[in-house]
Each structure stands twice: as C-alpha cells, then as structure tokens.
Amino acid sequence: MNFGILGAGSWGIAFGNLLRDNSQNVLIWGRRKEYVNEVNQTKRTPYLKNIRVNVPLTHDLNEFLNFTDILVIAVPVQFIREVFEKIKQFEHKIFLILNLSKGIEIKTQKRVSEIVSEFFNVPYSVLSGPSHAEEVASKIPTAVTLAGEHYEFLQKIISNDYFRVYISNDVVGVEIAGALKNVMAIAAGILDGLGGWDNSKAALMTRALYEMIKFGQYFGAKKETFFGLAGVGDLMVTCNSKHSRNRKLGELIVKEKDLSKILTNSKMVAEGMYTVKAVVDFSKKVGIEMPISNEVYEILYNGKDPKLSMLELMNRPLKNEWYI
C-alpha cells in the first residue's frame, strides 16, 4: 500500500514517519524544490528539530501521483483547492483520501470533505484529535479520532504502540471540531497574553466548547463527538500547549497588536486566523450566535482592544448555561 502525503510541513513529516514505523510505503510531496532537496539530503527539517526524516520527499507531482494509492492531505486548508487544481491535470490511481488538515475554506466556507468531493469520487476519511506533530514525531503516546469510509481498515494500518486510533461515523462533527478549536485556541492565547488567569481560561474553554457544538449541530454534527478526542481533547491541548501555533498567535496579537507583522515573522501557519473569517461570515448569514469567534475576529482584523472584548463577553445578557 502506497501512502502519498501532500504537504512536507511538521505534520506531514511526522505522519510519514509514523507510517514508516508501521512498515508502510510513503512518499511526501513538497511545494518548494529547495526545501525538498535539503530534507532529502540532510534527513532533517527545521519544523521538527532533532527528528530524523525517514521518508523520501519529491517536488515532482507526476512522480508523486504515479506512486500514490492513498492520498493523505497535510497542507493548510486554504491551499488545498490550489493543489487539487494541479492534481487534476495528471493521471492518478488514488482510491482513498485521508485528511489531516483542520480548517474551513474562507472563500467558499466549505469543509475539507466538501472541497474533496469537487475533485475526487473516492472514499474519504478525516483524522483529528490532540496530536501535535512535535510529540507524534517524538513517539509520545497519542490518541485520535478517525471518521469516514474504510475507517476500520485505516485504523489498523495507522495504529501502533504510541499512536492509538478510535473510530467515529461523524465526519461533519470531527471536521468542525478540528476547525473551530483553532479559533478558540487563538482566544486562549489572547487570554494568556492578558494574564493567563486560571478561572478565566477554564470559563473560556467551557464556553468555547459550547460554541463549537452549537455551530456543529447546525450542520448535523453529533454532540457527543465534541466531548471526545476530536472535540474537547483537541481543544484542551491546543488552548494550553507550547506547541500550539494558534494559541501563540493569540498571545502575540496582545503584545504586537499588528497581525501583518506577526505573519511576516512567522514560518508556521495558524489555521484559526483563516477559519474565523469563514465561521463569522457564515454564522452571521444564518443567525448562529458565536460570541467568542466574533471577538477573535474583531481583535485580529479590526484591531479591537482585547481587554474591551473580554469586558463585553462578561457583560453579555445573562442566560442558562446549556440550551442545546
């Protein structure tokens, strides 16, 4: 079985190493030729320090597609469509797609499964949960959720003694949980930048989970999915971890107050900054109340004072805790 991984960033390489540990054939496609050549030569990547890269990389998309049976998506969501447009120019033998990316496309407000369906007529699955690439690459025990078609087949291939895969039949819930937790992690980072208070962080994460569930249920997602690894599990790690790009972005916006400057100085993609645009636009259009997401958007894109956002969230009309 040949796994072709689209994306040579930290998660693509960590997952490639995982599959090699499981004796699978793997090839990773990278966008930048110079980077691909460097990694192939040194067996190292700047995204994962002190980790040996055990998988070959290629910049040649035709070579990649001739190799690939199972396509693994590990590129930022906003670039998936662009890569798929290139892929459709080539012959390929892809019979199954596994998505690792977490986010919602800004211009269409579509989930990854919906983008995939525009280009491929093959079974689709999504893998999500608390799985920072840095720790997976270091073989730290990790558990995730896999939802979609052929999930039992994939579960057996991917699982090993440091990476445990649970299965679900809720693709929509797993995708939305993975996308929205990135937005909430930015909020957590903003809170850390303001002071990192324990009471406030606990309240934020709890209400963030509620907001994620409410948004997901609009699309038919199951509430219990959000109480599992793809939901609360990923939310906990992303809101608290030193590895979290989204949490770090929130922390930096409090200090720098200039999103463009932060992005210029950063090599990593924080998916939440894109997802929040899609979430806020869609929620306003259909009337879903998303107070935390709205404030993250205002802080990132309209320069709102984070302290004012916190004050306004605390002074919203009083209500019952749960009504979903």
Rounded to 5 degrees, what angle do the CA atoms 24, 84, 5 make?
Answer: 20
Amino acid at 64: F
- In the annotated binding site, the residues are 7-12, 31-32, 47, 79, 102, 129, 131, 133, 181, 234, 244-246, 269, 271
The one catalytic residue among 110, 181, 214, 277? 181
**Nearest C-alpha neighbor of 233 from the set 160, 129, 315:** 129
Calpha distance 123→202 (Å, rounded): 38
Residue 163 DSSP code: E
Calpha distance 323→175 (Å, rounded): 23
- In the annotated binding site for sn-glycerol 3-phosphate, the residues are 102, 129, 131, 181, 234, 244-246
Neighbour tally for 47: CB within 10 Å: 21
- In the annotated binding site for substrate, the residues are 102, 245-246
Q: 304: which residues sit within 8 A by CB, 6+ positions away?
A: 295, 298
CA 139 centroid distance within chain:
20
- In the annotated binding site for NAD(+), the residues are 7-12, 79, 133, 245
- The answer to whether 103 and 214 are in contact (CB under 8 A) is no
- For tokens 């499964």, the residue is 113
Calpha distance 71→84 (Å, rounded): 11
Q: Order of strands across the sheet with 2-6?
A: 57-58, 25-29, 2-6, 70-73, 96-99, 124-128, 142-148, 163-168
- In the annotated binding site for NADPH, the residues are 10-11, 31-32, 47, 102, 133, 245, 269, 271
Residue 181 known to be catalytic:
yes
Calpha distance 150→167 (Å, rounded): 10
Q: What is the set of active-site residues?
A: 181
